[in-house]
Structures are given as structure tokens and as C-alpha cells.
């Protein structure tokens, strides 16, 4: 993944400003249901641990002393989340405006590199290319691009949002509509992918187990998600845009490994191909007038285009970016 891009390409500034008011609405909705939130143990290792790391929007973020992951507890139930995602004006705005405005950049810089990566891993680990499923297919761009390669015989997706599922079908993609946890899928796949999904899930353990049930033996699973130990998230903490009430789980290298191994997977690779840490720190520091250590200010703000670029590459290569990707194989 050598394509470089900045945050403005995929989240245009103008639209982001408008989006903020819708975000506020979503946060208020979740806060209004706080009385029905439930306490959970660590979603990765299962250890109970109720030390609050910080609060944001009156929601508690817990850091697990055992595996290091950050998670929301008490958290919204599956029912509250269902209501949230079907009524969210923020998602509607994203789907109607932000995504269409940035669709082609995303195709070029995010989805096509992902397709290439998956094909590389299939070859590297000698995985059969009969059937692939994407959990959380969204607008179907990944599936569309994978279909174009003609490498897999069959490609399908799971999508819970009705109009997105329809968009995928209109583009010729077979779709299971609903949440993977609630759908009875009879077929099995050689490859499953889920991009930026697991952080939203009430029970990551159920989610991964369900995926294990629909994979063939030696089937490959690729996940991407925010890394709590990554540069921008661990530095910015509650100021990080990635830390918001709908992201319930912030895995780390150690915690995702524990979760996958518990569900019968062998972890093959954990990488952080992120490009945006320095950009995100720069924007967040300017927007909130945040004070960060001088040396980091120099790298991310004053020398963003020179030292900052090299620093981003360093983060990427040393598993320190906030955008994490795992490749695992079902044993
Ligand atoms: Zn843990």
C-alpha cells in the first residue's frame, strides 16, 4: 500500500463541518439511553476490569489491565445499537453526501489497495479463491473491485443498512441483509473480510465466532480497525475523532490476537498500513488548540511535510499507526 493521501481526500473539510451537528444528535441519542447500557468485561480477554481510563460525552472508557485494550463499559445493548444505526442522521448524511463526494478517492486509495492485499495474502498462504464474503459491504466498492479482477468465482456481502444493501444489489453484488449475528448463512467461504466493523460490535467474541462458522478450514480472515496503541489515538485520547460513542472496542496487537486465537484462528500478520496519523494529529491540535509535547508539535505541525512524512512511514513500518490490519487463518 504505497499510495499516499491526506485526510481531506476522504473526509472533505466543508462537509465535515456540516456533519458535526448530526454527530451531536447521535451522541445525544446514545446519552439519552445511558440508563439501559450494560456493563461488560474486556471484549478481548474476558477479564473484568472497571478502572476508568477517561470519560468522553459522559461515557466511560475502560483500559484492560490484562490485554491493554480500550473499551466502552457500560455500553449500549444490541437493541439500542439497532435503533441507533437505523435512525442516525449522521450516517444518512455520510451516505448521501460525504461518501459520494469522496467515493472515487476512496476507491483508488483505499479499496483497490485492499483488493491487491487480499490477493497477495491468498497467494502467500495458498488459499483457494472460490468464495469471498465481505461483512459490512457498505456501498459495495470493495466487492465491485474484487469482482473486476475475476480472481474469485463468487463474491458476496453482508450489509445491515437497507439502502446500502440495495445499492450493492443494483451493482450486481449478492447481499445478505442484516447483522451477521442474526443471519443464518448456510454456505462457507474461503475468505472473509470486515473493514472498520469490529469496533462497532457489541460482542466481538460472538462476531468472530460467527465468522469462524462460515469459513472453510484454512479460510482467511482480514480485519481492519482502530489501534488503541497507535500514534494519533493514544496521543489524542478523548480528543481523537476515532474515540466516539459508537466505537465500543479499541483493540491492540495483543488483544486482537487473544480474541482471534480464542475463536480458533491462527494469527498470520498484524500490520498498521495507516497513512493519516500525523495529519490527524495536526488537524486535531489546530482545531482544539491542544498542547502536545514540543517534539511532536515540531514533527506533526511545523515540519509536517518533511519530518512528518518520514515519521508517518516510521509509524507504519513499526506497527505504531492507529489503523491496524490483521490476517488470520481458521485452524
Ligand atoms: Zn483484556
> Is residue 223 in some structural domain?
yes
Question: 34 with 54: CB under 8 angstroms?
Answer: no
Ligand 1 center to 248 CA (angstroms): 14
> Is residue 1 in some structural domain?
no
The three cell numbers of residue 246 are 459508537
pLDDT band (50, 70, 90) for residue 215: very high
pLDDT at 3 over 80: no
- List, for residues 157-175, the tens digit of each pLDDT value: 999 888 889 989 999 999 9
> Is residue 2 in some structural domain?
no
The three cell numbers of residue 110 are 483505499
- List, for residues 36-95, the tens digit of each pLDDT value: 999 999 999 999 977 899 999 999 999 999 999 999 999 999 999 988 888 888 888 888
Q: Which residues contact 105 (CB under 8 A, 6 or more apart)?
A: 5, 9, 10
> Is residue 39 in some structural domain?
yes
> Is residue 206 in some structural domain?
yes
Q: What is the pLDDT of residue 10?
A: 63
> Is residue 219 in some structural domain?
yes
Query: How many degrees, rounded to 5, is the angle at CA 227 between CA 248 and CA 237?
Result: 70
Q: In what order do the strands lie in the sheet with 52-56?
A: 52-56, 59-63, 70-72, 249-250
Instruction: Output the pTM of the full model.
Output: 0.92
Ligand 1 center to 69 CA (angstroms): 6
Burial class (CB in 10 A: 0-12, 13-18, 19+), 229: buried
- Rg over alpha carbons for the chain, rounded to the nearest Å, is 19
Ligand 1 center to 70 CA (angstroms): 8
- In Å, what is the CA distance from 49 to each residue of 46, 74, 247? 9, 12, 19
> Is residue 140 in some structural domain?
yes
- In Å, what is the CA distance from 252 to each residue of 5, 231, 323? 24, 12, 10
**Domain range spanning residue 315?**
7-330
Ligand 1 center to 39 CA (angstroms): 14
- In Å, what is the CA distance from 243 to each residue of 4, 50, 212? 24, 18, 28
| Domain at 324, CATH number | 3.40.50.150
- List, for residues 130-159, the tens digit of each pLDDT value: 999 999 999 999 999 999 999 999 999 999
Query: How many degrees, rounded to 5, is the angle at CA 328 between CA 325 and CA 331?
Result: 170
Ligand 1 center to 287 CA (angstroms): 33
Ligand 1 center to 155 CA (angstroms): 34
> Is residue 49 in some structural domain?
yes
Query: How many degrees, rounded to 5, is the angle at CA 168 between CA 138 and CA 322?
Result: 20
The total of structural domains in the chain comes to: 1
Which of 97, 46, 93 has its CA nearest to residue 67?
46
Amino acid at each position: 500500500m504505497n499510495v499516499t493521501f491526506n485526510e481531506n481526500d476522504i473526509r472533505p473539510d466543508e462537509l465535515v463541518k456540516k456533519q458535526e451537528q448530526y454527530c451531536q444528535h447521535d451522541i445525544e441519542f446514545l446519552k439519552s439511553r445511558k440508563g439501559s447500557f450494560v456493563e461488560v468485561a474486556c471484549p478481548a480477554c474476558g477479564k473484568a476490569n472497571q478502572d476508568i481510563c477517561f470519560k468522553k460525552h459522559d461515557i466511560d472508557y475502560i483500559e484492560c489491565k490484562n490485554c491493554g485494550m480500550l473499551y466502552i463499559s457500560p455500553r449500549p445493548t444490541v437493541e439500542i445499537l439497532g435503533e441507533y444505526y437505523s435512525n442516525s442522521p449522521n450516517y444518512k448524511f455520510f451516505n448521501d453526501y460525504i461518501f459520494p463526494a469522496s467515493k472515487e478517492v476512496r476507491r483508488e486509495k483505499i479499496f483497490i489497495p485492499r483488493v491487491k492485499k487480499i490477493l497477495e495474502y491468498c497467494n502467500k498462504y495458498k488459499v483457494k479463491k472460490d468464495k469471498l464474503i465481505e461483512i459490512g459491504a457498505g456501498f459495495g466498492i470493495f466487492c465491485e473491485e474484487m469482482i473486476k479482477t475475476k480472481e474469485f468465482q463468487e463474491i458476496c456481502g453482508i450489509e445491515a443498512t437497507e439502502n446500502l444493501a440495495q445499492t450493492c444489489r443494483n451493482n450486481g453484488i449478492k447481499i445478505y441483509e442484516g447483522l451477521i449475528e442474526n443471519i443464518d448463512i448456510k454456505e462457507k467461504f474461503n475468505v472473509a473480510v470486515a473493514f472498520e466493523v469490529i469496533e462497532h460490535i457489541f460482542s466481538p467474541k460472538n462476531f468472530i465466532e460467527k465468522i469462524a462458522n462460515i469459513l472453510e478450514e484454512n479460510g482467511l480472515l482480514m480485519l481492519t480497525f482502530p489501534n488503541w496503541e497507535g500514534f494519533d489515538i493514544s496521543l489524542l485520547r478523548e480528543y481523537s475523532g476515532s474515540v466516539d460513542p459508537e466505537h465500543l472496542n479499541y483493540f491492540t496487537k495483543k488483544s486482537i490476537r487473544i480474541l482471534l486465537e480464542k475463536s480458533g484462528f491462527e494469527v498470520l500478520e498484524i500490520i498498521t498500513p495507516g497513512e493519516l496519523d500525523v495529519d490527524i494529529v495536526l488537524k486535531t491540535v489546530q482545531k482544539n488548540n491542544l498542547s502536545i509535547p514540543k517534539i511532536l508539535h515540531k514533527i506533526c505541525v511545523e515540519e509536517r511535510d518533511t519530518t512528518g512524512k518520514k515519521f508517518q512511514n516510521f509509524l507504519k513500518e513499526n506497527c505504531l499507526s492507529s489503523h491496524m490490519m490483521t490476517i488470520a487463518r481458521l485452524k
